[in-house]
């Protein structure tokens, strides 16, 4: 080997070692950083017109696109389930378990117990007041549950808006990154950090809405909703959010029309299910319970006559039951003002009937017994509520609380099961694409050896040249 070749070889090795040291140092520095992909370096000798122009350093990132796809798919499913569980947590705390004192099932039981006490002492004002208070508490509990369901819907709607904004922001940024990556790839520049950022933003989109992706040969990323709607193809097709309404893309594609159109998973889909399906179903159940209470006590009241004397112990905002106006009844139910002193009514009507003209004689329990019998009356309920189509007040209230608790429990169980799969895939991706510090330190050791060998060769060349110049 001539001294010139030896000198060139040593210098090329030193340049390669310096570049590789920089890459390894960056890998070690970024170990544990979410979405950072380990960078590898290779070198090739560049020849132009037969002239050796030296070593070219190539920095690359080797990822498993199929594994990334699987991670994103599971992330989308888990995010949907988690969003539903979190959205329901506050509501479930409000309704309690069937046996909890604050639950609507316990409130129905409390009213029955209060009326049973009234049966023994129908003329005592304290006992009458306790019975009216139990009725008030029951109506207030239904209204509170209904108000909480409305709040859950409102909160979910606001979260959807926030997440749509995040998706749109990421789509626009990825549009920019696509241009930088394709230009950088064509020019032979290092684009690995840009690809890391693009993957990180794409992962965030997958958490919000289920997606599929593929890359073109020039490095450009295309993003589709899982139903096939285009979200990014050269230009971002951003989402358009309508409060308490649908989500479309900027080109007019409705992503919420059906699962086949676009959104089958992701936090946005989960929140929309809570807002438009789960809470709507819960409200229907509360409406049915309220209707059952109003109907049962109207039927049991022997003093009811023609309007306006047609209201029972429970009313539809002061009016009698109207089968054509059940929707929203859960937030309109209230105790008849005629029995509430706060509204100018008389406590004794709880013993005599809502439209009695005088208190009943002290030992007359006819009306109280009729009210108690209302609890044993089997009534029909709307099959669409998902609860029994015929039941007593107590059994319907218990079924309502149990089912609503079960909905959240099942969602949490599904989430726990899918989380195991997701974490396994995520860890596999991290192990494959992430940084192993021990491996990087071992690479650094070999580089140091190579560096020392190149330095020795330079020293040898210098000594030879010193000998030649001294002759």
Considering only CA atoms, which of 230, 130, 134, 236 is closest in space to residue 177?
236
Helices (H) then strands (E): counts for the chain = 12, 12
Q: What is the pLDDT of residues 274-326, one digit of tens each?
A: 999 999 999 999 999 999 999 999 999 999 999 999 999 999 999 999 999 99
Residue 223 burial by CB count (10 A; 0-12/13-18/19+): exposed, middle or buried? Answer: buried
Q: What is the pLDDT of residues 81-122, one digit of tens each?
A: 999 999 999 899 889 888 888 899 999 999 999 999 999 999
> Taking CA 142 as the corner, what is the angle to CA 402 and CA 140, rounded to the nearest 5 degrees?
140
More confident residue, 340 or 431: 340
Residues near 362 by beta carbon (within 8 Å), at least 6 away in sequence: 122, 123
Say if CB 41 and CB 57 are below 8 A apart. yes
Percent of residues, the chain, with pLDDT higher than 70: 79
pLDDT-derived band at 432, boundaries 50, 70, 90: confident
- What predicted TM-score, i.e. pTM, was given to this entire model? 0.84
pLDDT at residue 37 in the model: 78
Distance, CA of 229 to chain centre: 21
Cα 346 from Cα 361, distance rounded (Å): 15
pLDDT at residue 145 in the model: 96
Say if CB 131 and CB 117 are below 8 A apart. yes
Residues near 136 by beta carbon (within 8 Å), at least 6 away in sequence: 335, 340
What DSSP line would sit under 81-106, residue for residue?
HHHHHHHHHHHHHHH--TTSTTSHHH
Strand partners, 466: none
- For residue 138 the two structure tokens come to 């029951």
Sort residue 181 into left (φ over 0), alpha (ψ -120 to 50) or beta.
Answer: alpha
pLDDT at residue 461 in the model: 55
Cα 401 from Cα 100, distance rounded (Å): 10
> Is residue 32 classed as helix, strand or coil in its secondary structure?
coil
Residues near 382 by beta carbon (within 8 Å), at least 6 away in sequence: 284, 288, 326, 389
């Amino acid at each position: 080997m001539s001294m010139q070749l030896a000198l060139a070889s040593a210098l090329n090795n030193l340049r390669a070692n310096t570049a590789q040291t920089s890459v390894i140092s960056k890998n070690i520095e970024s170990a544990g950083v979410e979405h950072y992909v380990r960078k590898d370096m290779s070198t090739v000798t560049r020849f132009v017109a037969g002239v050796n122009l030296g070593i070219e350093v190539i920095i690359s990132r080797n990822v498993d696109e199929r594994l990334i796809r699987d991670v994103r798919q599971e992330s989308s499913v888990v995010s949907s389930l988690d969003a539903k569980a979190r959205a329901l947590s506050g509501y479930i705390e409000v309704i309690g378990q069937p046996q909890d004192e604050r639950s609507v099932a316990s409130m129905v039981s409390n009213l029955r117990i209060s009326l049973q006490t009234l049966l023994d002492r129908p003329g005592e004002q304290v006992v009458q007041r306790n019975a009216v208070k139990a009725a008030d508490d029951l109506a207030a509990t239904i209204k509170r549950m209904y108000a909480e369901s409305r709040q859950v819907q409102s909160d979910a709607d606001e979260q959807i808006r926030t997440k749509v904004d995040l998706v749109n922001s990421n789509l626009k940024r990825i549009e920019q990154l696509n241009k930088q990556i394709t230009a950088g790839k064509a020019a032979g520049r290092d684009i690995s950090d840009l690809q890391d950022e693009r993957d990180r933003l794409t992962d965030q989109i997958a958490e919000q809405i289920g997606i599929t992706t593929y890359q073109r040969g020039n490095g450009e990323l295309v993003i589709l909703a899982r139903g096939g709607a285009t979200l990014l193809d050269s230009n971002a097709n951003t989402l358009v959010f309508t409060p308490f309404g649908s989500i479309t893309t900027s080109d007019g594609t409705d992503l919420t029309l059906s699962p086949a159109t676009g959104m089958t998973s992701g936090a946005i889909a989960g929140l929309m299910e809570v807002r438009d399906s789960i809470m709507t179903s819960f409200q229907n159940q509360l409406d049915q319970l309220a209707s059952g209470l109003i109907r049962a006590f109207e039927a049991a009241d022997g003093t009811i006559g023609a309007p306006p004397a047609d209201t029972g112990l429970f009313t539809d905002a002061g009016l009698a039951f109207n089968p054509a106006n059940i929707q929203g009844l859960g937030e309109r139910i209230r105790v008849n003002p005629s029995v509430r002193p706060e509204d100018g009514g008389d406590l004794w009507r709880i013993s005599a009937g809502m439209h009695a003209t005088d208190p009943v004689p002290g030992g007359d329990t006819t009306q109280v017994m009729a009210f108690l019998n209302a609890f044993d009356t089997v009534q029909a309920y709307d099959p669409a509520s998902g609860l029994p189509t015929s039941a007593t007040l107590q059994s319907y209230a218990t079924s309502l609380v149990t089912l609503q608790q079960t909905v959240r429990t099942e969602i949490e169980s599904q989430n726990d099961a899918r989380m195991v799969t997701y974490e396994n895939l995520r860890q596999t991706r991290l192990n494959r694409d992430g940084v192993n510090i021990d491996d990087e330190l071992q690479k650094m050791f070999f580089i140091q050896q190579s560096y020392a060998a190149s330095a020795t060769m330079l020293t040898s060349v210098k000594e030879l040249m010193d000998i030649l110049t001294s002759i």
